[in-house]
Amino acid sequence: MARTATVMVLVVGVALGVGPGPGVGLEPGGAVPAWAAPPAPRRPNVIFILTDDQGWGDAGFAGHPFVRTPHLDRLAREGTWFRHFYVAATVCSPSRTAFMTGQYPARHRIHGHFATAESNAARSMPDWLDPDVTTLPGLLRRAGYATAHFGKWHLGAGVAAPPPERYGIDVSGRSWCRSGRRSRWPRG
């Protein structure tokens, strides 16, 4: 740390025309050596937490009088808490579609929760979100982020359903709810 601070002062000094003299500590042509360049800005970590059926005030950091959520409180304190946020649907599959795509779920014909193929067909719904659609995890992955999803998936299930990796997710530990049962899927 001290070396970086000293180098930064030297580089600033040379840029201002003061310091030990012309060319001292610089590469040929006056370029700053790689070891003296300031570090690349750190990109923020992005953690998106979705909890079904949780009201806006149901956590400690949001002012709940007796629910204790110390880990969520710390995330809210040290990160960014989006207080003005719109959920595009009241049930799981369409709301997840909106979060993943940034689009209204009706654009993808997803207006209810995914269920059996027969039930989906009766409601004119696909059996899963189209894996070729642009998703937030896909965009983050292309920007160099490692992406992960843990928890309830509910964007399609069954043998033929695309795994989360098709949507830009590197690692997943997921479950899918149906009729009150929880079933663990093997990792994709």
- Residues classed as catalytic: 92, 154
From the list 185, 119, 127, the residue with the least C-alpha distance to 152 is: 185
> What token pair was written down for 163?
């795994």
- Given 3-state DSSP classes, what are the helix, strand and coil percentages for the chain, each rounded to the nearest 5? 35, 10, 55
Could you give the CA distance from residue 121 to residue 115 in angstroms, rounded to a whole number? 10
CB contact at 8 A, 110 and 98: no
- Return the ∠ at Cα 101 (arms to 97 and 104), rounded to 5°: 65
> What token pair was written down for 35?
């070891």
Q: Give the neighbor-by-neighbor strand order of the sheet with 148-152.
A: 148-152, 171-178, 181-184
Query: 3-class SS at 166?
Result: helix
Identify any residues that bridge with 41 across adjacent strands, giving them in sequence order: none
C-beta neighbour count of 175 within 10 angstroms: 15
